[in-house]
Chain A
């Protein structure tokens, strides 16, 4: 025992100096303006502190001074690559408080557009992850397809990225006449590209070597950090709000929840997180196809839109399954036309908090992969 202690002291004296590396905010692979203070022992990451706030835009304070419809454009800008999904929980919460029943057609369009945007988001997630791993080509294949989805959104709402499309009680505008054909064509092309990307990137041996057994997040740690979305599902927990607490009309559709099962490595590694996203795209395609089959083409999407929104006194928490996880809006109303407080439960922010847990003990090159696999959007982290 005493001898072991002696050896330990010897080794602690041999312990080399740790290097502190400030990664970001202008680093190519921090996905925005995130700074990571990394402590390195050689190439091994021993500790990590994410410094956030470079993109803080005071969303919550702004929201206190704006009327309810005025907040929607700001909500678009939280997670700016899945804006349709962001708007959904907010308008659902207000509708619940105002007791508005939206028409069947509105619900269908909301679901279809949310799922399309989920595909677009996952495309970016996998594409930028590929870029982090050094594969540049899948990135552009996915962006080519994403343009198609954005064009569909633009035709319907007028905006390519920031839509302001889901309104309280309905939608901003009706969909364009060729809506069904456009989406059918888009899904066909998305599936084609996915088949290609699977072979080009996800099944590539080098890619598997880079991602398998890297950044493992065990299920219990994921739960204790409050991680949601594809990252939680990759750790083997099939929690999806669309199934667990069905909102809108999701209970009508038949789809699976892909979970990570450690096919090439351990459950909850970077590869699992990507394959979960990849399979979710296919599930989204399935949902859209089912929705298009029973899509009611008649109906006014704006019949229930109130002229002025004045919420009754009270509070509500409304959540939905964003591509990145559970996005929730906690709205407190004091009976005026402006909210007293809006709190956002941003999935990227919560997921980012588990990053140090995932990356300790891996190499510096792995850190980039782990950060890429978390799929954060700094607009949402900093709000």
Chain B
């Protein structure tokens, strides 16, 4: 097995290497957030036959920078009756939780910040840490809308973890590993080796192709719910709860929530890419293969799913709380059980 990290190869295992490795995802994240915010603005505008921001820079491409600067300048208000320590801590927990997820994301075969062999499990565990931030923010704001939003968020994310965990369990069974690099390596070759098409193997997998495909859809739906995006943006559903758990937040703390949401969007897109769409593998065999192109493939595949999330957001209305639970417990969970059984059978037959 080759060395998983080119930084260690280049400058050896010292503290500078560790600093670079932990900062690289942050740099990527900042650049990604700017692109994603602009993408959200522009895609929503084009879908709605508008032009979107046009004044800041040519075609408004500096708009996200302007928004970040605006948020930095804004007054940071802490409500009088809020629980101040919790109120101030919540956005940081939220952001830390989503940033922690980046620790195991393999951007390329030669770069993963931390190549632990429990990567999939780590993502699942850390992904649910953000709930604490949500609940803290909602509770500490001392606002009825925030409280309702926070409670809804917790109920929603906790229940959607289960179908998501079922999907991840299936992948673990199919790949026989929880190491993300290993999972990706198993999907190398042409795109029909991806787990969304049943993974590598003989013709027998064609029978099970619908199951793995449904599994992928289940994970996409569950991931939408985990990132609080439409149609599952109930915790911050603006028509009911004004802005949900972050109603009382302003300035930089609001920006942290915002940033965390976009970071989460990327993380779930990355997970979908890794477990179903072959991670950094080129879809066409050895065409444009290798570690450098790997980054390109990984990021572009993840961006497709970010685009999918934005696209869905500007298409669908929002579900109600009880319907959200219905979808989770009565639709996604049974379907994921059935698919789990079927795909386990496939593994046995292979």
Report which A residues bind B (CB closer than 8 A): 19, 21, 27-29, 43, 130-137, 140-141, 144, 200-201, 204, 206-207, 209-210, 363-368
Partner of A206, one of B44, B144, B239, B316: B316
B231 to chain A, nearest CB (A): 6
Chain B neighbourhood of A132, CB < 8 A: 239
Given A134-B239, A363-B322, A368-B239, A206–B314 Cβ distance below 8 Å?
A: no
Contacts of A200 in B (CB 8 A): 315
CB-based contact A365/B49 at 8 Å: no
Determine the chain B residues whose CB is within 8 A of the CB of A21 once the complex forms. Answer: 144-145
- Chain B residue contacts of A141, Cβ below 8 A: 48-49
Which chain B residues border A363 with CB–CB below 8 Å? Answer: 320-322
Complex Cα spacing A164 to B49, Å: 32
Whether B237 is near chain A, meaning CB under 8 Å from some CB there, is yes
Which residues in B have their C-beta under 8 angstroms from that of A366? 320
Chain B residues in 8 Å Cβ range of A144: 49
Instruction: Determine which of A43, A131, A206, A364 lies in contact with B319 in the assembled complex, contact meaning CB atoms within 8 Å.
Output: A206
CB distance from A63 to the nearest CB of B (A): 35
Contacting residues, chain A, for B234 (C-beta < 8 A): 365
The answer to whether A134 touches B318 (Cβ under 8 A) is yes
CA distance A27 to B316 in the complex (A): 22
Q: Which of B44, B47, B231, B322 contacts A134, CB < 8 Å? A: B231
Do residues A28 and B242 form an inter-chain contact, with CB atoms below 8 A?
A: yes
Distance (whole angstroms) from the CB of B116 to the closest CB of chain A: 39
| A-B contact list, 25 entries, CB within 8 Å | A29-B240, A43-B148, A43-B321, A130-B317, A133-B239, A134-B237, A134-B318, A136-B44, A136-B48, A137-B48, A137-B315, A140-B50, A141-B48, A201-B317, A204-B317, A206-B231, A209-B319, A209-B320, A210-B320, A363-B320, A363-B321, A363-B322, A365-B240, A366-B320, A368-B239
Tell whether B73 is near chain A: CB-to-CB under 8 Å. Answer: no
Give the residue of B144, B237, B239, B240 whose beta carbon is less than 8 angstroms from that of A19: B144
Nearest A residue to B44 via CB reads: A136
Q: Beta-carbon contacts of B134-152 to A below 8 Å, as 1s and 0s?
A: 0000000000110010000
Chain A residues within 8 Å of B81, by CB: none
A200 to B312, CA, bound (A): 12
Task: Report the minimal beta-carbon distance from A352 to chain B, rounded to whole angstroms.
Answer: 18
In the complex, what residue of chain A is closest to B319 when comparing beta carbons? A206
> Which of B48, B145, B230, B320 sits near A365, CB closer than 8 Å?
B320
Interface residues on B, range: 20 to 34
Q: Which of B150-197 contact A (CB under 8 A)?
A: none
- Give chain B residues whose Cβ lies under 8 Å from the Cβ of A365: 234, 237, 240, 320-321
| Total inter-chain residue pairs, C-beta < 8 Å | 76
For B234, the closest partner residue in chain A by CB is A365
Query: Which residues of chain A are within 8 angstroms of B240 by Cβ–Cβ distance?
Result: 29, 364-365, 367-368
Q: Is the interface of B mostly helix, strand, loop or mixed?
A: loop
Q: Is B233 an interface residue (CB 8 A)?
A: yes
Residues of A within 8 A of B318 (CB): 133-135, 206, 210
- With a CB–CB cut-off of 8 A, which chain A residues contact B237? 134, 365
**Hey, which chain A residues are within 8 Å of B320, CB to CB?**
209-210, 363, 365-366
Q: Which residue among B48, B314, B315, B316 has the maximum number of chain A CB atoms within 10 Å of its CB?
A: B316
Q: Please, how many angstroms separate the alpha-carbon atoms of A10 and B48 in the complex?
A: 55
B314 touches A136 (CB 8 A): yes
Q: List the A side residues contacting B148 at CB < 8 Å.
A: 43, 364
B50: A residues at CB distance < 8 A: 140
Q: In the complex where A21-B144, A141-B49 touch, is A133 in contact with B317 (Cβ < 8 A)?
A: yes
**List of A residues within 8 angstroms of B49 by Cβ:** 140-141, 144
Q: Is B323 an interface residue (CB 8 A)?
A: yes
Chain A proximity of B310: nearest CB distance (Å): 12
State which of B44, B145, B317, B321 has its C-beta within 8 Å of the C-beta of A135. Answer: B317
Asked if B238 CB lies within 8 Å of chain A CBs, one says yes
A210-B317 in contact (CB<8A): yes
A27 touches B242 (CB 8 A): yes
Smallest CB gap from B323: residue in A: A209
Q: Which residues of B contact A136 (CB under 8 A)?
A: 44, 48, 314
Query: Which residues of A are found within 8 Å of B316, using beta-carbon distances?
Result: 134-135, 204, 206
Report the Cα distance A366→B48, complex, angstroms.
Answer: 26
Chain A residues, Cβ within 8 Å of B231: 134, 206
With A and B bound together, what is the CA distance between A255 and B238 in angstroms? 39
For residue A29, which residues in chain B have a CB less than 8 angstroms away from its CB? 238-240
Interface hits, B202-249 → A, CB 8 Å: 230-231, 233-234, 237-240, 242
In residues 44-94 of chain B, which contact A (Cβ within 8 Å)?
44, 47-50
CA distance A364 to B237 in the complex (A): 12
Q: Which residues of B contact A43 (CB under 8 A)?
A: 148, 321
Give bound CA distance, A7 to B200, whole Å.
Answer: 62
Q: Are A134 and B321 within 8 A (Cβ)?
A: no
Most A CB contacts (10 A, CB to CB) among B50, B231, B239, B316 go to: B239
Chain B residues whose C-beta falls within 8 Å of the C-beta of A27 in the assembled complex: 242
A213 to chain B, nearest CB (A): 12
A residues within 8 A CB of B242? 27-28
Question: Beta-carbon contacts of B18-52 to A below 8 Å, as 1s and 0s?
Answer: 00000000000000000000000000100111100
Q: A137 — which chain B residues lie within 8 A by C-beta?
A: 47-48, 314-315
A207 CA to B323 CA in the complex, in Å? Answer: 11
* Closest CB in chain B relative to A48 CB, distance in Å: 14
Which among A29, A130, A367 has the highest number of chain B CB atoms within 10 Å? A29
Question: How far is A209 from B322 in the complex, measured between Cα atoms in Å?
Answer: 11
A37 to B322 Cα, complex, angstroms: 23
Cα–Cα distance between A357 and B234 once the two chains are bound (Å): 25
- Provided the pairs A27-B242, A29-B239 are in contact, do residues A134 and B233 lie with their beta carbons within 8 angstroms? yes
Instruction: Decide if B322 touches A210 in the complex (CB within 8 Å).
Output: no
Do residues B321 and A207 form an inter-chain contact, with CB atoms below 8 A? Answer: no
From A211, which residue of chain B is reached at the shortest CB distance? B317
* Inter-chain contacts of A367 with B (CB < 8 A): 240
Q: How far is the CB of A185 from chain B (nearest CB, A)?
A: 17
Kindly list chain A residues whose C-beta atoms are within 8 Å of the C-beta of B238. 28-29
Give every chain A residue within 8 A of B47 (Cβ-Cβ): 137
A368 proximity list for chain B (CB < 8 A): 239-240
